[in-house]
Amino acid sequence: MNFSLEGRTYVVMGVANKRSIAWGIAQSLHNAGARLIFTYAAERFEKSVRDLAASLEGQDALFYQCDVTDDESITETFQQIQNDVGTIHGLAHCIAFANKDELKGDFLNTSRDGFLTAHNISSYSLTAVARAAQPLMSEGGGIVTLTYLGGERVVPNYNVMGVAKASLDASVKYLAESLGQHSIRVNAISAGPIRTLSAKGVGDFNSILKDIEERAPLRRPTTQDEVGDTAYFLLSDISRGVTGEIIHVDSGFHIIG
Ligand code: NDP
Ligand code: N5H
């Protein structure tokens, strides 16, 4: 078994800056020899993504703008990728969004609009993107998404995003069944809290991290590279028998009652 990703191409969606979990995944895939394709939604992050990718020695990365709320944008992005590189071997979906005012207070007050926005960007987008990527994955491959414990249990303030992650987790299983016949595996990583741009200004992050340091089996917070290396595992042949799985990379916090 060859564990190198030499000669393989992966799409990484959701690098906003150097703290992004997607950037941790990009670095792990790069270190394993993969060629990388980056997609970003907001034009203001294009420079940041390009500058980061330029720091990866010998990497010949490609860049596309893709807004996952727009079917046309998704179709065009993957058509363009097909024209430019032909085959891809996998995809990392590292995308979520909910209105800030729905990420605090009482879940009972979730608006219809806020509910739909969170589900559209954070859950449905995985299915939309998987459908667009499938024709490019003619040699089989892997799809990985990012989820959080708040989709399994009630975590204060996670609110509508928890319900969206539960929907995402179920989508992983249904997509694994749909795409298994094409030798495409679909899995999720449930990451412990990491201080990223998304996490900024939501909840009391310091006390959440303190709790992890005190109670998680490993007594330390999750790091970007730990998630990156698990994504590498899930996107490589090392995990060839694994699909429809949700792997917790959270210092073991999910087992604590
Ligand atoms: P980042 O803020 O770094 O990344 C979030 C990304 O989502 C951004 O790159 C943003 O792109 C993208 N995004 C939002 N809306 C859209 C859209 N319409 N189309 C395309 N992309 C969009 O945060 P993280 O790295 O923390 O988040 C990545 C994933 O990890 C998310 O699914 C998150 O829920 C999950 N996660 C995070 C944890 C944490 O503690 N940080 C814990 C567990 C899971 P842009 O800015 O260009 O719009
Ligand atoms: C229990 C918690 C803390 C409280 C809830 C946090 C939920 C965070 C997830 C979403 C994705 C954050 C979000 O949508 C923020 C936006 O409203 C505002 N930010 C932005 O628009 C920035 C500029 C862009 C880049 O962000 C996005 N997303 O596009 C959960 C934490 C312990 C763990 C955590 C932080 C989980 C998670 O899913 O991210």
78-97 tens-digit pLDDT: 999 999 999 999 999 999 99
Q: Is 3 exposed, middle or buried (0-12, 13-18, 19+ CB in 10 A)?
A: exposed
Candidates 126, 161, 169, 227: which one to mutate for ligand 2, based on the most atoms within 8 Å of Cβ? 161
pLDDT digits (tens, 9 = 90+) for 132-143: 999 999 999 999
Asked if the structure places residue 213 within a domain, the reply is yes
How much is the average pLDDT of 190-200? 95
Q: What gap in Å lies between CA 58 and CA 49, rounded to an integer?
A: 16
pLDDT recorded at residue 42? 85
Q: What gap in Å lies between CA 13 and CA 123, rounded to an integer?
A: 14
Reported ipTM: 0.99
The first and second tokens of residue 94, run together, are 């590292």
Asked if the structure places residue 1 within a domain, the reply is no
How much is the average pLDDT of 20-28? 98
Answer yes or no: is pLDDT of 150 > 70: yes
Other CB atoms within a 10 A radius of the CB of residue 41 amount to 20
Strand partners, 188: 145, 246
Candidates 95, 143, 148, 168: which one to mutate for ligand 1, based on the most atoms within 8 Å of Cβ? 95
Asked if the structure places residue 4 within a domain, the reply is no
Ligand 2 pocket check for 98: Cβ under 6 Å? yes
In the structure, what pLDDT confidence band is assigned to residue 217 with cuts at 50, 70 and 90? very high
Asked if the structure places residue 3 within a domain, the reply is no
Answer yes or no: is pLDDT of 19 > 70: yes
pLDDT recorded at residue 253? 98
Answer yes or no: is pLDDT of 130 > 90: yes
8 Å CB contact between 157 and 199: no
Domain extent at residue 227? 9-251
Q: How many independent structural domains does the chain possess?
A: 1
What are the angstrom distances between the C-alpha of 213 and each of 27, 37, 206, 210, 225? 26, 35, 11, 5, 18
Asked if the structure places residue 202 within a domain, the reply is yes
Answer yes or no: is pLDDT of 239 > 80: yes
* Catalytically annotated residues: 148, 158
Answer yes or no: is pLDDT of 1 > 70: no
pLDDT digits (tens, 9 = 90+) for 30-85: 999 999 999 999 888 899 999 999 999 999 999 999 999 999 999 999 999 999 99
Q: What gap in Å lies between CA 163 and CA 165, rounded to an integer?
A: 5
Answer yes or no: is pLDDT of 13 > 80: yes
Name the one residue in this structure whose structure tokens are 């412990």: 192
Asked if the structure places residue 225 within a domain, the reply is yes
**For residue 100, is it left (φ>0), alpha (ψ between -120 and 50) or beta?**
alpha
Task: Report the share of the chain in percent with pLDDT over 90.
Answer: 95
- CATH value at residue 165: 3.40.50.720
Q: Any idea which ligand is nearest the CA of 221?
A: 1
In the structure, what pLDDT confidence band is assigned to residue 3 with cuts at 50, 70 and 90? confident
Asked if the structure places residue 256 within a domain, the reply is no
Asked if the structure places residue 42 within a domain, the reply is yes
Ligand 2 pocket check for 191: Cβ under 6 Å? no
Q: What gap in Å lies between CA 136 and CA 81, rounded to an integer?
A: 8
